[in-house]
Amino acid sequence: MRENVPQRTGYGNAPMELWISRVLLYGVLLAAAIILTGLALFLLRGEIGGESLSGLVDQQKTGADLGSILRGAGRLDGKSLIQLGLFVLILTPISRVAMSVFFFLRERDRVFVAITAVVLCVLLGGLIGSALT
């Protein structure tokens, strides 16, 4: 005999955990695809010119901001695509936390909404703060 245990639901009929795991999986896969594409273009075009791969993502050396990264990615610049992929990778767990806020709002769980919203604000503050320095 089965007990009727209420399950947390997310968007549609899928459990919240399933939606969150999909966001994490697809975010990491998308970031990996962008980084690998950028790396292939970077190496195929011979742009390496003595620059190390760690130098590609060093904001102090490259002067990278999101606008210049997006413009470079639009031109299929290998370095910009690698930086864009890393940005997508950073946004993946942040989107997971944002999605959790939405799910807790749907469930009207005020305590978890408050806790998760604080975590989201800290993450976004860290991201914005690092962009300003």
Domain boundaries, the chain: 16-132
Return the half-sphere exposure (C-beta side, CA atoms, 13 A cut-off) of residue 115: 7
- Looking at residue 15, the DSSP 8-state letter turns out to be B
The predicted structure's pLDDT at residue 47: 61
What is the Cα–Cα distance from 1 to 67, expressed in whole angstroms?
Answer: 59
**Collapsed DSSP state (helix, strand, coil) of residue 3:** coil
125 alpha-carbon distance from chain centroid: 15
Higher pLDDT, 15 or 102: 102
Check whether 32 has a pLDDT greater than 90.
Answer: yes
DSSP-assigned letters across all residues of 34-62: HHHHHHHHHHHTT--TT--HHHHH-HHHH
Q: Above pLDDT 90, what percent of the chain?
A: 20
Identify the band that residue 10 occupies on the pLDDT scale cut at 50, 70 and 90.
very low
| Residue whose entry in the numeric block shows the structure tokens 């890393």 | 86
Burial 71-90 (b: 16+ CB within 10 A, else e): ebbeeebbbbbbbbbbbbbe
